């Protein structure tokens, strides 16, 4: 697939791609609509404090992790068109509640619920996989993610102007946030009618069970359980941070910890309920896949997207303090890390398509990330600023290219559970962000860059050992197993009756 293909708007798959990245763009615009308006909020609401906004920032990512798992399951059952539309319309409600909230509790609860919108990423990943052939999926997924992710940057650039110039007054920030919520709800309704789940009815293949991911062996089931625990367990770090900031009592924290344990146990039970009957019956050879590849890609997204979210939050202050820059200049330089997304992520997917070996591309990118952050750990005031910027942009190219390469592989691992695999890998990106941001509170910037370089190198080792080149990764059509055909026949019979 050539870059010029994205301008062929009459092509059904290209139209679907544009409709979907715009949906993702809008959801990320809404998700990140608070930070740019933080100062306006503090000026207009006398009962809000800076610490309150820090707590809201924590809440803004709290439910994204479990939401991506739940949405991944819903995708495989209901299809991305319905899930994306419902997500956009339903999440407009907490966004509106936040816009017009008049108490600390209302704002806190609204932001916590709204954090679920971060799951929108995996919905579009699944939709794009339904529309594009295996040989083109890398670039398509990269383009979708790179341009959609840019919604957060546009929110930062445009919302203050909208609040001050279009609305003005002390409540300008409220109307700016409300406007973004209304646009999202309207687009959610439009998306329902504007697109289908793939070019034909056979594109969306449902799994036998959507309550948990299917595996192919007893060993893989144990690995799935082990890799599932951190997805909810990491919320314990957020609870600890909220308690540490004084917003949660010991009793409240204990209840939260018990709830996290209960959810983990429930997920393990669901894994057993789904997979024990399948494994006892025996998995046909043509339907088996290796969970090791899923685990490897979980590690890559932890190490690349998790690092990106963490680095973006600390980079402005790093440049400001290291080179004595003013806040505006440091912010502009740091923004280059995110701006690269527009090109680097689609390029990562395109390289994955054209090299003819997706595993090799993934390994190259992850090794490049470890070298890039190793160089950033060496940055200090004695380095010329222009060279420091070049190192930062170069590292960002590898980070975001690796993100594109990750989702260039996922659709080819196991077609009918693409939603669940995408949800799990995507959630690990947020797990990485929580872990890295927590570590950052205890170390210097230089030590922090060494740590995330080490994380990328560990992921490289995991990929070297576990990641397998997907079969049929460059074919014209996705592989269909005997179980896929049985599920399809059963669905047709049920429809007749």
Q: In sequence order, which residues have a C-beta less than 8 Å from that of residue 328 and are 6 or more positions away?
A: none
**Quick one: pLDDT at residue 85?**
97
| Average confidence (pLDDT) over 437-448 | 89
Question: Does residue 411 have a pLDDT over 90?
Answer: no
Instruction: Take residue 270 and report the two structure tokens written for it.
Output: 């669901």
Contact in structure between 167 and 175 (CB atoms under 8 Å): yes
Quick one: which of 168, 180, 49 has its CA closest to 114?
180
Q: How far apart are CA 323 and CA 497, in angstroms?
A: 71
**Quick one: pLDDT at residue 497?**
60
Confidence class for position 209, pLDDT limits 50, 70, 90: low
User: What's the start-to-end Cα distance of the chain, in Å?
Assistant: 42
pLDDT tens-digit series, residues 110-131: 998 999 998 998 899 889 988 9
Instruction: Take residue 81 and report the two structure tokens written for it.
Output: 């068109």
**Quick one: pLDDT at residue 32?**
84
| Average confidence (pLDDT) over 316-324 | 87
- Give Cα separations from 222 to 197, 209, 226, 238, 397 (angstroms): 33, 18, 6, 26, 35
Confidence class for position 402, pLDDT limits 50, 70, 90: very high
If one compares 342 and 12, the residue with the highest pLDDT of the two is 12
pLDDT tens-digit series, residues 251-301: 999 999 999 999 999 999 999 999 999 999 999 998 899 999 999 999 999
Q: Please write down the HEC assignment for all residues of the chain.
A: CCHHHHHCCCCHHHHHHHHHHHHHHHHHHHHCCCHHHHHHHHHHCCCCCHHHHHHHHHHHHHCHHHHHHHHHHHHHHHCHHHHHHHHHHHHHHHHHHHHCCCCHHHHHHHHHHHHHHHHHHHHHHHHHHHHCCHHHHHHHHHHHHHHHHCHHHHHHHHHHHHHHHHHCCCCHHHHHHHHHHHHHHHHHHHHHHHCCCCCCCCCCCCCCCCCCCCCCCHHHHHHHHHHHHHHHHCHHHHHHHHHHCCCCCHHHHHHHHHHHHHHHHHHHHHHHHHHHHHHHHCCCHHHCCCHHHHHHHHHHHHHHHHHHHHHHHHHHHHHHHHHCCCHHHHHHHHHHHHHCHHHHHHHHHHHHHHCCCHHHHHHHHHHHHHHHHHHHHCCCCCCCHHHHHHHHHHHHHHHHHHHHHHHHHHHHCCHHHHHHHHHHHHHHHHHHHHHHHHHHCCCCHHHHHHHHHHHHHHHHHHHHHHCCCCCCCCCCCCCCCHHHHHHHHHHHHHHHC
Dihedral in degrees, nearest 10, Cα atoms 167, 172, 177, 181? -40
pLDDT tens-digit series, residues 460-492: 999 999 999 887 767 777 777 888 788 777 767
If one compares 340 and 402, the residue with the highest pLDDT of the two is 402
Confidence class for position 495, pLDDT limits 50, 70, 90: low
Question: Does residue 208 have a pLDDT over 70?
Answer: no
Question: Does residue 151 have a pLDDT over 80?
Answer: yes
**Quick one: pLDDT at residue 75?**
86
Q: How far apart are CA 67 and CA 470, in angstroms?
A: 27
pLDDT tens-digit series, residues 296-313: 999 999 999 999 888 877
Question: Does residue 348 have a pLDDT over 90?
Answer: no
Q: What is the pTM of this model?
A: 0.84
Q: How far apart are CA 195 and CA 69, in angstroms?
A: 24
| Average confidence (pLDDT) over 393-402 | 92
**Quick one: pLDDT at residue 116?**
93
Question: Does residue 372 have a pLDDT over 90?
Answer: yes
If one compares 211 and 143, the residue with the highest pLDDT of the two is 143
**Quick one: pLDDT at residue 200?**
79
Q: In sequence order, which residues have a C-beta less than 8 Å from that of residue 9 and are 6 or more positions away?
A: 15, 18
Question: Does residue 384 have a pLDDT over 70?
Answer: yes
| Average confidence (pLDDT) over 41-46 | 85
Question: Does residue 210 have a pLDDT over 70?
Answer: no
Mean pLDDT of the chain: 88
**Quick one: pLDDT at residue 63?**
85
Question: Does residue 453 have a pLDDT over 90?
Answer: yes
Q: How far apart are CA 365 and CA 398, in angstroms?
A: 6
**Quick one: pLDDT at residue 146?**
85
């Amino acid at each position: 697939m050539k870059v010029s293909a994205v301008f062929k708007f009459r092509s059904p798959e290209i139209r679907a791609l544009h409709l979907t990245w715009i949906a993702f763009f809008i959801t990320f615009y809404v998700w990140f609509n608070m930070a740019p308006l933080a100062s306006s909020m503090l000026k207009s609401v006398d009962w809000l404090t800076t610490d309150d906004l820090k707590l809201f920032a924590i809440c803004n990512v709290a439910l994204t992790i479990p939401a991506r798992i739940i949405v991944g399951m819903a995708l495989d059952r209901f299809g991305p068109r319905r899930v994306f539309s419902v997500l956009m319309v339903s999440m407009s409600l907490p966004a509106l509640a936040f816009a017009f909230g008049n108490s600390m509790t209302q704002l806190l609860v609204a932001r916590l619920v709204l954090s679920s919108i971060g799951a929108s990423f995996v919905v579009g990943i699944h939709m794009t996989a339904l529309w594009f052939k295996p040989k083109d999926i890398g670039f398509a997924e990269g383009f979708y993610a790179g341009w959609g992710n840019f919604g957060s940057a546009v929110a930062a650039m445009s919302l203050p102007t909208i609040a001050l110039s279009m609305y003005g007054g002390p409540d300008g920030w409220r109307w700016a946030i409300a406007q973004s919520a209304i646009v999202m709800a309207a687009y959610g309704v439009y998306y329902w009618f504007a697109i289908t789940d793939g070019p034909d009815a056979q594109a969306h293949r449902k799994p036998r069970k959507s309550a948990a991911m299917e595996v192919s062996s007893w060993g893989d089931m144990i690995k799935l359980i082990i890799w599932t625990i951190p997805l909810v367990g990491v919320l314990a770090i957020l609870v600890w941070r909220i308690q540490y900031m004084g917003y949660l009592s010991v009793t409240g924290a204990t209840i939260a910890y018990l709830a996290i344990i209960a959810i983990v146990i429930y997920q393990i039970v669901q894994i057993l309920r789904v997979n024990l009957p399948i494994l006892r019956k025996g998995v046909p050879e043509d339907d088996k896949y290796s969970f090791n590849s899923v685990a490897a890609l979980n590690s890559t997204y932890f190490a690349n997207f998790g690092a990106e979210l963490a680095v973006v939050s600390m980079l402005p202050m790093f440049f400001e303090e290291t080179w004595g820059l003013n806040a505006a200049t440091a912010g502009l330089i740091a923004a280059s890390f995110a701006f690269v997304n527009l090109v680097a992520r689609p390029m990562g997917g395109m390289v994955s398509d054209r090299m003819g070996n997706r595993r090799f591309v993934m390994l190259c990118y992850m090794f490049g990330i470890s070298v890039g952050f190793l160089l950033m750990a060496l940055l200090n005031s004695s380095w010329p600023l222009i060279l420091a910027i070049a190192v930062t942009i170069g590292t960002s190219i590898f980070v975001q290219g690796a993100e594109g390469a990750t989702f260039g592989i996922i659709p080819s691992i196991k077609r009918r559970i693409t939603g669940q695999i995408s949800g799990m890998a995507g959630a690990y990106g947020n797990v990485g962000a929580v872990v890295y941001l927590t570590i950052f509170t205890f170390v210097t910037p230089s030590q922090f860059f060494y740590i995330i370089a080490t994380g990328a190198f560990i992921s490289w080792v995991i990929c070297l050992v576990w990641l397998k080149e997907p079969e049929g990764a460059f074919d014209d059509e996705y592989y269909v197993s005997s179980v896929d055909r049985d599920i399809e026949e059963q669905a047709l019979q049920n429809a007749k009756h």
